[in-house]
A and B are shown apart, each in its own frame.
Chain A
Amino acid sequence: MAQASAVTKASVSGGQNLTRVLGQFAPLIFLFVLVVIFAIATEGRFLNPLNVFNVLRQVSIVGLMAIGMTFVILTGGIDLSVGSILAVAGMVAAIVVKGTNQNTLSLDTSEVQGFGVGTALLAAILVGILVGFLHGTVITRLGIPAFVVTLGGLTIWRGVTLILSNGGPISGFNPDYRYWGQGLIELPWLTEMVQARVPIGVPIPVIIFLLFAVLAHIMLRYTRYGRHIYAVGGNKEAARLSGLNVQRLTLSVYIIMGFFAGLAGFVLSARLNSSEAVAGIGSELDVIAAVVIGGTSLFGGEGNVLGTVIGALLIGVLINGLVMLNVSSYIQQIIIGVIIILAVAFDRYIKSRRR
């Protein structure tokens, strides 16, 4: 009855414009400051191309999963099971390519002949998609909160991984397989410029990560599907009453999450030349941290993939920089935790000024 009729803000003032711009780039500014600090503190060693690519390579596994997680969190959901999906997908890929779940440790002398690398990659991704489909179906059809379903998934798929591998790792892949994790596109001019002893180049995982980041960005920013994702996260009821199939959209993000976790599982196993049953334990926290640091709201409807990429970079840079500065790993954990909170607090502060 007594509704206050809000006064229209006829114009956005210059100050608001500035904070709006700042709001979009808050994580980027944070990252930039961190890089400068580390560059100075390490007397430039941090910016050595070898180190830069090293950081990027480490970031790409968490980064790939964080892209998928961005879709999930944008709808207001969560997926705690990503580390386990990564492990089970990596293990399936290893079994497919080696044709056995025995840890032969032999590169090319094994008696059993496995399938090709392409088949292994496909298998990993299919496993991820299947798991995501199962999670999404339980969440949407039975109405059980995503937190609960994926918390269950976290232990279920870890258990499946352990069964598949008899608890141990499956190691020793052919070079084609390893290329997906260890290979790089060489940049001779850069190698020459810094007179490095080993060839310098862009690691394959980094290329995969950036490729999918661009693809995901286009999906979320320029397609109808992307608009629908934001709408579902922004207001589920309004989305439904606008004719969106909220259930199908919700299901789709868990499938996308599974795709990325499966892909990440394959890449990680190729990089380590080993599929570990314990791979990715606890990685859901890094993944969620990357998304949240990147400015995506845990309530859904707000955020983007660019922020997530920056968030993942921020965590990678932080860990690498602290290691280079010989900060004890105990203290590292404290610093990383504080930075996560600070980054999000900064982001929230900037956004609250916009309102």
Chain B
Amino acid sequence: MTQPLLQMTHIVKQFPGVRAVDDVAFTVMPGEVHGLLGENGAGKSTLLKILSGAHQPDAGSIRLNGTEIQLSNPFEAQRKGIVTIYQEFNLVPQLTIAENVFIGREPTSGVLLKWGEMARQTRDLTDRLGISLDPMTQVRDLSVAEQQMVEIARALSMQSKLIIMDEPTSALSDKEVDLLFNIIRELKKQGLGIIFVTHRLEEVMEICDRITVLRDGHNAGEADVKDIGIPDIIRMMVGRAVDDLYAGQHKQHTRQAALSVHGITRRGNAQDAAAIVLNDISFEVYKGEILGLAGLVGAGRTEIARAIFGADPYDSGEVRVEGQSVRIKSPEDAIRHGIGLVPEDRKQQALFLALAIRQNMSIAALGKLLQWGTFVRESQESKLIDEYRQMLNVRMTSPEQLVSNLSGGNQQKVVIARWLALQPRVLIVDEPTRGIDVGAKAEVHALLHQMADQGIAVIMISSELPEILGMSDRIITIREGKLTGEILRADATEEKLMQMMTLARALVS
């Protein structure tokens, strides 16, 4: 048997409050395309960051071609031949392809660049990849796929042995994916190892030789792709018990639609004006229902929430609140129609970290606390805050405490209270329990049930399948901007959901 190119054993990485990677083994052979798979939060990113030198492992060893190595920073990893190509490219748009390929390692004579040399070597590299690009083209004039080629060319120029590709196909068209796969096969022939991270299981079957699956920071399985099928991979990714974090429940919901969405379509993202972000999205959510919205990161879950809430514009489609068609062009409009949003990124999108709990909790509901239409009645405000402090069990010293001094869970409760104070008809919660501890998580779940009991229609977005399964009455799934299915909780399993989220069409119905 040949010697492994990369051998990681007993890797442990601890963060405050969580063991992100626990005793993980990971091996890549030369000339192998190895799929690294797992749900969001399974430990993939941490493992890759260790491998690229961005994180230091607490325990374990890394061997490259049989020699034990230390990767104390990203630069060292690159020098040893481990190169990562991230989703967000590390290119300087204003510079040429040649300059980008040789950035930091430019061939010079004295202080002057050897342009001819750089161009010649760059052309050699692109030839090796079987693509034709003028080395003197500015990178900003390239397509996303071409920029990715430049990244790969740069990796080759560094004499890489191991290339890590993090979701390399997420921004590519089908044709471009084929081209990328040809290049990967070419690199394989040249004896390089490729670590391929993706959420698209069909691609795994197409391009990978072996896979390693992580789950909750542990190894959940390793297999040759020729021996297994997609259902096996899904089972390895999700096979865990739903614990009593989701024990609560709420009353049977009504059949009155609180919110319905018809044919919402949005084109264009930051990189590509023609990309379809939301494709003909239609669904409804009933009063007193918790509707789970499941999909992989980047599938368009958050984009749906932001479109409904008026945070992002959309091109066509209609939103109805309690049967009435409404025009929502800003969050201000959405709030007027009784729609609230707890955004996914608490610190960037919800909290005023320099302000106190008082200002944070009441900001959206100030209209209800006014005297003479302008002065805030602080005594009434204090009562309101105290009410929600008790109801949500917020652990705080006083309304004047800075919100930045609260734990993540208590901060999230403050954000939820902000919306409850408005008594919304529809509340969209995006990753409501991200980054908060287990106890607070259970409390937030109980709260969502309570809200449904009060007749609020709740749309819950979550990356955690157990949370989706444990909380929702009904679940809809989205993949690449398009709804791919709808299922009642009683009929749903993690395997089924994973299929609906990852496959263009369901394998079993």
Contacts and interface: CB of A to CB of B under 8 A. Distances in A.
Interface of A: 1-12, 222-225, 227-228, 230-231, 234-235, 237-245, 297, 301-302, 354-355
Contacts of B309: 241
Interface stretch (B130-138, B222-230, B431-439): B431-439
B370 interface: yes
Contacts of A242: 331, 350, 363-364, 418
Interface residues of B, number: 56
B464 to A, nearest CB: 11
A8 B367 contact: no
B46 A223 contact: no
A297 B355 CA distance: 13
A2 B15 contact: yes
A302 B354 contact: yes
User: Which 7 residue pairs spanning A and B have beta carbons closest together?
Assistant: A3-B435, A2-B15, A234-B352, A4-B16, A243-B335, A2-B20, A8-B407
Contact of A235 (B17, B352, B434): B352
B285 interface: no
Q: Is the interface of B mostly helix, strand, loop or mixed?
A: mixed
Given A6-B408, A227-B376, A234 B335 contact: no
A66 B289 CA distance: 52
Contacts of B375: 222-224
Interface centre among B43, B370, B435, B436 (most CB of A within 10 A): B435
B395 interface: yes
Contacts of A241: 309, 311, 331, 341, 343, 349-350
Contacts of B109: none
Nearest to B377: A222
B404 to A, nearest CB: 7
B68 interface: no
Contacts of A243: 331-332, 334-336, 364
A2 B18 contact: yes
B45 interface: yes
Given A1-B41, A5-B409, A241-B331, A231 B351 contact: no
22 contacts: A1-B46, A2-B13, A2-B18, A3-B18, A3-B434, A3-B435, A4-B16, A5-B408, A6-B408, A7-B407, A8-B407, A10-B395, A10-B397, A222-B375, A224-B366, A224-B374, A227-B376, A238-B348, A238-B350, A240-B330, A241-B309, A241-B341
Contacts of A10: 395, 397
Nearest to A16: B405
B353 A235 contact: yes
A245 B330 contact: yes
Contacts, number: 123
Contact of B376 (A224, A354, A355): A224
Interface centre among A1, A2, A237 (most CB of B within 10 A): A2
Interface string B405-448: 11111100000001000000000000000111100000000000
Contact of B366 (A9, A227, A234, A240): A227
A12 B401 contact: yes
A245 B374 CA distance: 16
Contact of B355 (A225, A234, A245, A354): A234
Given A238-B350, A301-B354, 14 more contacts: A1-B45, A2-B46, A3-B17, A3-B408, A5-B407, A5-B409, A11-B397, A12-B401, A241-B311, A241-B331, A241-B350, A242-B363, A243-B335, A244-B332
Contacts of A224: 366-367, 370, 374-376
B354 A225 contact: no
Contacts of A231: 352, 355, 359, 363
A205 to B, nearest CB: 28
Contacts of A302: 354
B352 A12 contact: no
A238 to B, nearest CB: 5
Contacts of B402: 354-355
B9 interface: no
B359 A227 contact: yes
Contacts of A1: 18, 20, 40-41, 43, 45-46
Contacts of B348: 235, 237-238
Nearest to B438: A5
A228 B376 CA distance: 11
Interface string B9-51: 0000101111010000000000000000000110101100000
Contacts of B343: 241
Nearest to B366: A224
A4 B367 contact: no
A4 B437 CA distance: 9
B354 A234 contact: yes
B48 to A, nearest CB: 12
Nearest to A232: B352
Contacts of B355: 230-231, 234, 301
B405 to A, nearest CB: 5
Nearest to A9: B405
A223 B15 contact: no
A6 B332 CA distance: 32
B311 A240 contact: yes
B497 to A, nearest CB: 20
Nearest to A219: B374
A240 B46 contact: no
B408 A223 contact: no
A10 B40 CA distance: 32
Contacts of A230: 352, 355, 359
A53 B407 CA distance: 50
Interface string B337-360: 000010100001111111100010
B406 A238 contact: no
B509 to A, nearest CB: 33
Contacts of B341: 241
Contacts of A240: 311, 330-331
A160 to B, nearest CB: 35
A302 B404 CA distance: 14
Contacts of B331: 240-243
Interface centre among B20, B334, B343, B349 (most CB of A within 10 A): B349
A223 B352 contact: no
A235 B351 contact: yes
A231 B363 CA distance: 8
A5 B435 contact: yes
B77 to A, nearest CB: 20
A8 to B, nearest CB: 4
Contact of B437 (A5, A235, A239, A245): A5
Contacts of B367: 224
A8 B410 contact: yes
Nearest to B364: A242
Contact of B16 (A5, A227, A239): A5
A142 B492 CA distance: 49
A29 to B, nearest CB: 21
Given A222-B376, A235-B351, A8 B406 contact: yes
B397 A238 contact: no
A225 B372 CA distance: 13
A6 B437 CA distance: 9
A238 B350 CA distance: 5
